[in-house]
Amino acid sequence: MPQPVKKRSDDTALRPLLRYVKPYSPLLAAALVMAVISVVATLYAPVLVGDAVDLIIGKGRVDLDGIKPILVRLAAAVVITGISQWIMSLCTNKVSYNTVRDIREDAFANLQRLPLSYIDSHSQGDMISRLVSDIEQISDGLLMGFAQFFTGIVTIFGTLGFMLSISVKISLIVVLITPLSLFVARFISKNTFRLFKSQSETRGEMTALVEEMVGGLKVVKAFSYEKESEERFDEINTRLRDVWVKAVFFSSLTNPSTRFINGLVYNFVGIIGAFAAIGSGFSVGQLSCFLTYANQYTKPFNEISGVITELQSAFASAKRVFEVIDEQPELPDSANAVVLDKVDGTLRAENVSFSYRPDIPLIENFDLSVKSGQRIAIVGPTGCGKTTFINLLMRFYDVTGGEIAVSGVPVKECTRDSLRASYGMVLQDTWLKTATVRDNIRYGKPDATEEEVAAAARSAHCDGFIRRLPNGYDTVISDNGGNLSQGQKQLLCIARIMLSLPPMLILDEATSSIDTRTEIIIQQTFSRMMEGRTSFMIAHRLSTIREADCILVMKAGHIVEQGTHSELMKKNGFYAELYNSQFTV
């Protein structure tokens, strides 16, 4: 499959599209051969019709015996045309669908390799639109392009050859006038590309809005935001309608403009051919044949102009898709990257600095030393860098300065997969895939046995409600959790970690959606799970991290205090202020 190409600055997507089509060139060659056979058989038919006309041009001059073999050959030409067109369509469909499949696979595969910063800076709806709607538009353009472009080109040259064999002078008239339609089509298509590109972008904007509103429909209704949502949708929908109408209007000018020019060609041929027939330069059958050829010669120009218009839309969509494919993926692991197979849980951060934007500093001169099995709690006001530090630990983002090392190995010198496999993460925001409850629990350990899954569920205190589901562990839940409560979804995520039990744990507000009674039970389970494992806990409810071995108090990207709960309370500093603020009214 083609590798992602370098980023382009031009507005055309033809070259990368051809690169994806290249592996299927044998099928294209077969389609071209079938197109030639189809066109030759089609163009042979007017010759037969012309011969038949010459056999019935006057009273008492009807040669039925001569017509019969002509009809047989005409029927054979029709059958050959039908079979060759069917095979050609089969080949072009395979090329189109396989090409689109490869593009979609490469786009989705590169999406998995993109850094988290790219995902964070692009709306989910727009990405969905690129991988679904835009690729479908490419498919439609390729289907029309291959099906009509091949036959159109072959028809033009084939018809021209047959016309030249009948009359060179009249053929020159057709050749000199007809190309005007291509100039008209080119003028129009240059303007439609910009409109189709704007149409694709606006459609992506609409998809993003719909995805956003549907995903947060409960919040929309809770805040009575329906009217504002409709107004935003109407505004985007109106812009989409306007650009769509303009694009369709300009593209629709192509066909009538070229048909007008082609009509002129047909009339010129008819008039000049009639005079030639009167002057005995032509037979009536030859005139009939030539008029048919003149019509068939101009018809492909209409089809090709329509193909060009459709391809403009396909190229505009392809450009958006190739932007995803061409986007630089996450920096690959170095060739000598170390695989972390024996993680002892020690962690060291020296002079770490990081910011999402160069002009806005976030974490600066961050130092930390964690021993094996320690429970590290990270607290601080919103925006101080707690979750950002977790992203750096998992190497979702790379530090801009300093170094983080796990088990003595700098994280930049080890493979990402082995690093992330060393952590078990439970986030405040739950994520479940559309699958059975069992498959969701063993997401990180696909080969887990039934007993291991059930044991993990019991440890997370979710075995009871799972068994009350319609099909127990075989119940299929959707990505949004279906009828499960937020707390139940979070328990399933906790069970997922209970099953794999990696050497290091990250708990980011892991019990935020669980009632107080269940939280106490889960905290006890966490305590057993964290025994012998290095753990990082982010919590806003400071009562949940009192037993931590070390509490890091962060403020504006710096560690301003650290120590145990009792030590920090004795200092009566920033941590004590945060802790006591929980009980103020």
DSSP letters for 20-61: HHGGGHHHHHHHHHHHHHHHHHHHHHHHHHHHHHHTTSSTT-
Kindly list the structural domains of the chain, giving each domain's residue range(s) and its CATH number in brackets, ordered by start. Answer: 14-326 (1.20.1560.10), 347-581 (3.40.50.300)
pLDDT at 405: 92
Q: 3-state DSSP call for residue 217?
A: helix
Tokens 């060139």 label which residue?
Answer: 25
Tokens 């919040």 label which residue?
Answer: 219
Long-range contacts from 101-106, C-beta under 8 angstroms, 24+ separation: 102/1, 102/2, 102/20, 102/23, 103/20, 103/135, 103/138, 103/318, 103/321, 103/325, 104/131, 104/135, 105/1, 106/1, 106/2, 106/4, 106/325
Distances (CA, A) of 194 to 190, 203, 247, 316: 8, 14, 9, 8
User: Rounded to two decimals, what is the model's pTM?
Assistant: 0.64
Q: 3-state DSSP call for residue 436?
A: strand
Pairing of strands 401-406, 347-354: antiparallel
Tens-of-pLDDT digits for all 585 residues of the chain?
444 444 443 445 778 888 888 898 899 889 888 888 888 888 888 777 777 777 776 566 677 777 888 888 889 988 998 999 899 889 888 888 888 889 888 888 888 888 877 877 777 777 888 888 888 888 878 877 777 777 777 888 887 787 777 777 777 777 777 667 667 766 776 667 677 778 877 887 888 788 777 767 767 777 777 788 888 888 888 888 888 888 778 777 776 777 777 777 777 777 777 777 676 666 767 777 777 777 777 677 766 766 776 777 788 788 888 888 888 887 778 888 888 888 888 999 898 888 887 777 788 888 888 888 888 888 888 778 788 888 888 888 888 888 999 988 888 888 888 888 888 888 777 778 888 889 888 887 888 889 999 998 888 888 888 898 888 899 888 766 566 777 788 888 888 888 888 888 888 876 666 677 767 767 777 777 777 888 888 876 676 677 788 888 888 778 888 888 888 888 888 888 887 876 665
Give yes or no for a contact between 396 and 437, defined as CB atoms under 8 angstroms apart: no
Give the span between the Cα atoms of 376 and 506, in whole angstroms: 10
pLDDT at 510: 67
Q: CB 354: neighbour CB atoms within 10 A? A: 21
- Rounded to 5°, the CA angle 166-34-148 comes to 80
Going by C-alpha positions, the residue among 486, 411, 36 that lies closest to residue 494 is 486
pLDDT at 182: 66
Give φ, ψ of 558 to 5 degrees: -125, 150
pLDDT at 218: 66
Give φ, ψ of 374 to 5 degrees: -75, 150
DSSP letter assigned to residue 5: P
